[in-house]
Amino acid sequence: MSETRQAAVAQGIRDKVIVGYQGWFTAYGDGSPTERWSHWSAGVYRSNEGVPSPGHQTFDLYPDISEYAPGSLFQTGYAPLGNGTPAKLFSSYPSDVVNKHFQWMQQYGIDGAAVQRFLTTDGVFMAHRDSVASKVRTAAEATGRLFYIMYDVSGLSDATFLQMVKDDWTNRIVGQLQLPSSSRYATQDGKPVVSIWGLGFTDRPGSAAQASELIDWFRNQGAYVIGGVPTHWRTSSGDSKPGFTDVYKKFHMISPWTVGRYSTDADVDHFKNNNLLPDLAYCNTQGQAYQPVMFPGFAWYNWNGGAKNLIPRRAGALLWKQATNIRAAGIPAAYIAMFDEYDEGTAIAKAAEDSSMAPTNQYFLTLSSDGTYLSSDFYLRLAGKVTRLIQGLDAPTPAVPIPPSNGPVWFRTGGEETDAALTWTNTIDPSGGGSQGVTGYGGTGSAEFGAVSGEQAHSGSRALRITGRDTQAGGASFSYFKAYDVHIPVLASTRLSFWTYPQNNLSRHVTVDLVMTDGSTLRDSGATDLNGVSMHPGADRGTVNVWTQTKSQIGQWLAGKTIDRILITYDYGPLTGDFRGFIDDIEISN
C-alpha cells in the first residue's frame, strides 16, 4: 500500500467495511482519568502496581510500538524485546495514538470505525471513555473516516442497562460530546447510526421486552440501529435467547457475531451455507440490511488459558476466505473484529512481526506465529484489499492477494516458536545444488538439517543446525538443503545477514545460499560479504565455537532477480571429517 492518503468516504453505512475500535488501553502515567494499567494488565487505581510483567498480562498479541511517540509509550516489567528495544506499551489515551490509528485506516483504505461504548456507574471510567470518543471524532474528521457509537451491554444488569443506555446517548453522546453532529459521524438515510451489541445473547442482560423498548426508543430518536446479535439469531438457538425473533426484526441492520465460530476454510464454507446465506435471504425478506462480521484469528492463551494461537490466522488466509464468501454472496458491507484488540489476538493494527519485536522473557503471539514472516502492517494492507473486494472494486482471487511484506524487511527469522518456520526439514534441493560425498555425522546415515532447541542459539533458544561427514577428500563434497520457500524481489539496496556458529574447521563452510526464480544462485554470483569474503560456502567463514555475523549487500550482484528459496548448505572439497554448524537470525532487507 502506498503512503497516499485515501479520500474521505461517504457517510452511508450499507456499503462500508467498518472495523471495531476499542481504544481501551491505559497505562500508569498516561494522564488518563483511570491512572492505572488496564487491558494490558489488571492494574491498580493511581498506582503502577499491576504493571504488565511476566505472568501478569491480559493480552496475547504484542503490538508494534515503533511508530508511537515516546511520550505515548510506557515502560513495562518485561525484559527488552528481542531486538534490544525496551519493552514498552502504548496508551489509547493520548491524542497522537488515536490520530495514528485513524491515519492507518486512511492510509490503508479502511472506511471507518465503530467505537465501542461500555457503560458503568464509575465516573472515572466514563470520563476516560468520553475523552477517547472525542479524540476519535477529531481523528475521523482529520482523516475523512467514518465513525459511530457501538454500545456493548456486557457487564450490565437487567435492572439498569435500559436506562443507562438511554441516559448515556441523550446526556453524553448527543448532549455533552455532540458526536452525531460531526461531519464524519456515520449516517444512513439521513439517520445517525448507532449499534447495540449483546441484545439477545444468552449471557448478556435484557429481556425481549426490554430489548424491544430500547430499539424502539432509538428509532424514535431518529437513529439508524444496527444489531450486534448472536450467531444463531435467526433460529433463536444456541447463543441466542428464545423469544427474540420479533426483537431482531426491529433492527435496521443485522450484524451477527462470528468471532471464534470457525477456523478452517471448510468451517468458513459451512458457516456460509448454513448461516451467512440463509441470514441474508431472511434479511432481504424483512427489508433489513446485513453486515457480516469477520475476524483474522483468535488467541487468549496469556490471560484466559487454552492453546497458544488457538485459531491461527494462517497468514491472512482465514480473513481472506471470509471476505471472498461475503463477496460471492453479493453483500457490500462488513465489520472486521477488531482494529486494536490485542487482548484476544484479533487486532489488525500493527503488531509484532516476530520474536525480535516481543519481550524475550514472556510468550506473546506475533504475526509470524503461523510460520510465515509477515510485516507489521500485513493485516492493515489485507483489510484494505478486503474492503476493495467486498465493495466490488477488485476481482476475487483464491489466494491472499498481497505479499507477506513490502519491505524494508522482506524476511527474518530466529527460529523461535513465534518466528517464520522452516518450509522443509532434511530435504536436499536437487536443482539447487544436490548432495555428494557427504554422509551422516559419525559416518552412518545421511546428513541432517533442521531446527534445534537447547543446543546453540545466537538469540532465544533455537537455531538451525546442519550436521554430516565429508567423505571425499580432494573432490567436490556438498549438501544443499532447502529451508524456506519465499518470493522476494531483490533491489540494488537489498542485503542479507545471518549468524553462524561452526563447531570445527569444516563447519566454517556451513552457510546460507539463495536460489533465484531463474535458477541462478547467490554462491555463483560472485557476491562477497562486507569484508570481501566470497559468499560461496567453499570460503572459510567465522571462528570455531564463536557466533559470527555475515552481512552482504547482495543487491550489487542480484538486483532485478527474485529469490525463490533460501538454502542452508555445506560445501567444501579439500578435507574430510565430521561437521556440525549452526545458523541463526537470518534477515533479508533493504
Task: Please report, for the chain, the start and end positions of each structural domain, with discontinuous segments joined by +.
Answer: 17-406, 413-589
pLDDT-derived band at 475, boundaries 50, 70, 90: confident
Over range 414-432, report the average pLDDT: 97
Rounded distance between C-alpha atoms, residue 186 and residue 113, angstroms: 9
pLDDT tens digits for range 521-575: 999 999 999 999 999 999 999 999 999 999 999 999 999 999 999 999 999 988 8
Tell me if 510 sits within 8 A of 569, measured CB to CB: yes
pLDDT of residue 3 exceeding 80, the answer is no
Amino acid identity for residue 176 in this structure: Q
123, 129, 132, 133 alpha-carbon torsion, rounded to 10°: -110
Fold agreement between 17-406 and 413-589: no
DSSP 8-state symbol, 534: B
pLDDT tens digits for range 330-348: 999 999 999 999 999 999 9
pLDDT tens digits for range 282-318: 999 999 999 999 999 999 999 998 899 999 999 999 9
pLDDT-derived band at 10, boundaries 50, 70, 90: confident
Tell me if 275 sits within 8 A of 291, measured CB to CB: no
Share of the chain above pLDDT 70, in %: 99
pLDDT-derived band at 72, boundaries 50, 70, 90: very high
Least Cα distance to 60 among 358, 320, 332, 287 occurs for 358
Over range 576-585, report the average pLDDT: 97
Pairing of strands 112-118, 146-152: parallel
Share of the chain above pLDDT 90, in %: 96
Please state whether the predicted TM-score (pTM) of the whole model is above 0.85: yes
Strands (DSSP E) along 376-535, which ranges?
409-413, 435-436, 438-439, 448-453, 462-470, 478-489, 495-502, 510-516
Tell me if 69 sits within 8 A of 96, measured CB to CB: yes
Q: What is the pLDDT of residue 306?
A: 87
Q: What is the pLDDT of residue 8?
A: 74
Topology of the domain covering 413-589: Jelly Rolls (2.60.120)
pLDDT of residue 1 exceeding 70, the answer is no
Rounded distance between C-alpha atoms, residue 392 and residue 227, angstroms: 25
Least Cα distance to 108 among 412, 402, 431, 369 occurs for 402
The cell numbers describing 132, all together, are 477517547
pLDDT tens digits for range 447-456: 999 999 999 9
Helix (H, G, I), strand (E, B) or coil at 304: helix
Burial code of 384-412, b = ≥16 C-beta within 10 A, e = fewer? bbbbbbbbeeeeeeeebbbbbbeeebbbb
pLDDT tens digits for range 209-268: 999 999 999 999 999 999 999 999 999 999 999 999 999 999 999 999 999 999 999 999
Least Cα distance to 582 among 504, 486, 470 occurs for 504
Helix, strand, coil proportions of the chain in percent (round to 5)? 25, 25, 50
The cell numbers describing 83, all together, are 531486538
Amino acid identity for residue 38 in this structure: S
pLDDT-derived band at 2, boundaries 50, 70, 90: very low
Rounded distance between C-alpha atoms, residue 182 and residue 184, angstroms: 5
Q: What is the pLDDT of residue 11?
A: 80
CATH for the 17-406 domain, from 3.40.50.970, 2.40.10.500, 3.20.20.80, 3.40.50.2000: 3.20.20.80
Q: What is the pLDDT of residue 564?
A: 98
134, 139, 141, 146 alpha-carbon torsion, rounded to 10°: -90
Average pLDDT of the chain, as a whole number = 96
pLDDT tens digits for range 156-206: 999 999 999 999 999 999 999 999 999 999 999 999 999 999 999 999 999
Tell me if 566 sits within 8 A of 411, measured CB to CB: yes
Contacts of 104 (CB under 8 A, 6+ apart): 110, 349, 350, 377, 380
Q: Count other Cβ atoms within 10 Å, centred on residue 20.
A: 26
